[in-house]
Structure 1
Amino acid sequence: MRLRETSSTKKEKWKQLHGMQKVCYIWDYYKFPIFICLLFFYIIIYTVYGHFSKKTAVLYTGLINVSVDGQLNAQLSDGFLDFADEDAGKKEVPLYTGLYLTNDQNNPHHEYTYASRIKILASIDGEQLDVVLMNKEAFDAFSQNGYLCNLEKLFQESAPDTLHEIEPYLVTNISILEDNADDLSLDSSLSYQAVTEEYPMGLNVSQKGIFKQAGFEDDVYLGIIKNSPRTDMAIKYIDYLYSENKP
């Protein structure tokens, strides 16, 4: 049975130790408080570092049913920071990739649809998705669900001088305000009925600028999410995508 050492006993023992023996003695008796102190300092340093190194997002963008190479990926994120004269050390353009929405079960990306839908909805609800770049199938899905704003109206209010430049590339689509899809699932004898709204909610960005230079075979559409709090930056992003002379 080990007896507790008195203060005087510890002092006598300490005098008898030399070199590494003292280090081992300290570790044996104080390793737990030492560990707690080190953990405490680590948390402080990590928190301070995270605070000063965290970048502010100037725009959240997402690629839906669209894949890009590393060079175009960099152009869609860091390239825009240069164009907008933003400090890349403090600002960033988060670019969501690997998102797919398709009803085609033969599509190799069909298995990612459910997870992609959850991420997209969470990002929209959290106001962390401003601009989407997508193929026609995804454009139709976003349009029908009413996620996209009226681009013509947005530019009339915020950038009227730019409207005439992008007008040839505006694409109209249909938003479903309400329908009887739930009733149809219960009674197949009913005919489908819907209240819809039609307006310019997309831009074909594959016919000019960055995407044209990238040589996409299929059209790529851009939409701005309705609840985006960064529409001014989204408009500047469109200017960048249509620019023929990138920085």
Structure 2
Amino acid sequence: MRLPERKDVFFKNGLKEQWDSLNGKQKVQYVWDYYKFPITVCIIFLYIIGYMAYGHISKKEVLLYTGLINVSAGEQLTYDLSGGFLDHLVSLNPLEGNASRTDLKLYTGLYLTDNPDDPNHEYTYASRIKIIASIDDEKLDVVLMNREAFDAFSQNGYLCNLEELLRDAESLTRTEWEPYLAANTVILEDNADEVLQDSSLKYQAVTEEYPMGLNVSQAGVFRQAGFEDDVYLGVLKNSPRMEMAVEYIRYLCLLP
């Protein structure tokens, strides 16, 4: 049976009874042949809407962004730094906590060094770009680092005054965190550019020193990590998640 070219003509010609006589497969084929384009558009549209809705529903809220700079963590410590903290938050408030809807972003494999003989020196440039971008986007709150990285973050003025931050935290007492305080120096201004142009000039700088980190090598969850060198914890000055950073410090360093 040959079908008319358009369905409206098909009915106008009084052939409705012939349409009714078609089986289901023939009707589907007819509709698809003449309406495949709008059907395809509708399917794509529904897919996009569904995909966006699913992404919105399943999207996790990032509670904290943490970075390991010149520090490597084993499997257990990696869990403690990420999933363990989310479980800790749920234990604090089981009614509101939801580990399946929240996340902690842990940046690993980041290295900062000026030593060309360091085996990780080749990763320094890429790491520096990623760190600066994360700081500018306010997607880096807490950093764990060795002394070289601690000096670099401090000198650039990235780290907040931890004594002031923790002093105002109601959940912590001074005797808990004061033994771990580590001071460092921020360079407020210097003549480094002039020295590069004229080597006869003497380098001069205006600096300020204050507690920018905690030496956490032997504190809390880090005791079993087996670090041979000191590891420092710092909080980024522009972090919009200061309260969560304080709770992170309490969980990592001060809980038994």
Q: How many matched pairs?
A: 242
- Other structure's SS at 1:223 match: strand
Question: In 1, Cα distance between the equivalents of 2:32 and 2:7?
Answer: 17
Instruction: Report the TM-score, using the length of structure 2 for normalisation.
Output: 0.86
Q: Indicate which of 65, 87, 92 corresponds to 2:70.
A: 65
2:232 pairs with 1:221: yes
- Other structure's SS at 1:94 match: strand
Aligned-pair CA distance for 1:43: 1.2
Contact between 2:6 and 2:34, CA under 8 Å: does it hold in 1?
no
Q: Deviation per CA, 1:78-128: give whole Å up to 9, x if none.
A: 111222233212221111112111112222322222222122112112211
Segments of structure 2 that go 5 or more residues without pairing to the other structure are 91-96
Higher mean displacement: 4-13 or 153-162: 4-13
Q: Which amino acid aligns with 2:38?
A: P
Aligned to 2:34: 29
2:11 pairs with 1:5: no
Question: In 2, Cα distance between the equivalents of 1:19 and 1:213?
Answer: 69
Question: In 2, Cα distance between the equivalents of 1:55 and 1:152?
Answer: 32
Higher mean displacement: 67-76 or 169-178: 67-76
Contact between 1:208 and 1:244, CA under 8 Å: does it hold in 2?
no
- Other structure's SS at 1:59 match: strand
Aligned to 1:178: 189
Question: In 2, Cα distance between the equivalents of 1:68 and 1:125?
Answer: 25
Q: Deviation per CA, 1:213-240: give whole Å up to 9, x if none.
A: 1212222110000111211111111111
Q: Which amino acid aligns with 1:5?
A: E
Aligned to 1:41: 46
Aligned-pair CA distance for 1:27: 2.7
Q: Which amino acid aligns with 1:40?
A: F
Contact between 1:59 and 1:233, CA under 8 Å: does it hold in 2?
yes
Contact between 2:180 and 2:216, CA under 8 Å: does it hold in 1?
yes
Segments of structure 1 that go 5 or more residues without pairing to the other structure are none
Aligned to 1:208: 219
2:116 pairs with 1:108: no
Percent identity, aligned pairs only, is: 63
Contact between 2:74 and 2:225, CA under 8 Å: does it hold in 1?
no
Computed over aligned residues only, the root mean square deviation of the Cα atoms, in angstroms, reads 2.1
**What are the equivalent positions in structure 2 for 1:56-135 lying under 5 Å apart?**
56-85=61-90, 86-135=97-146
Aligned-pair CA distance for 1:39: 1.1
Aligned-pair CA distance for 1:130: 0.9
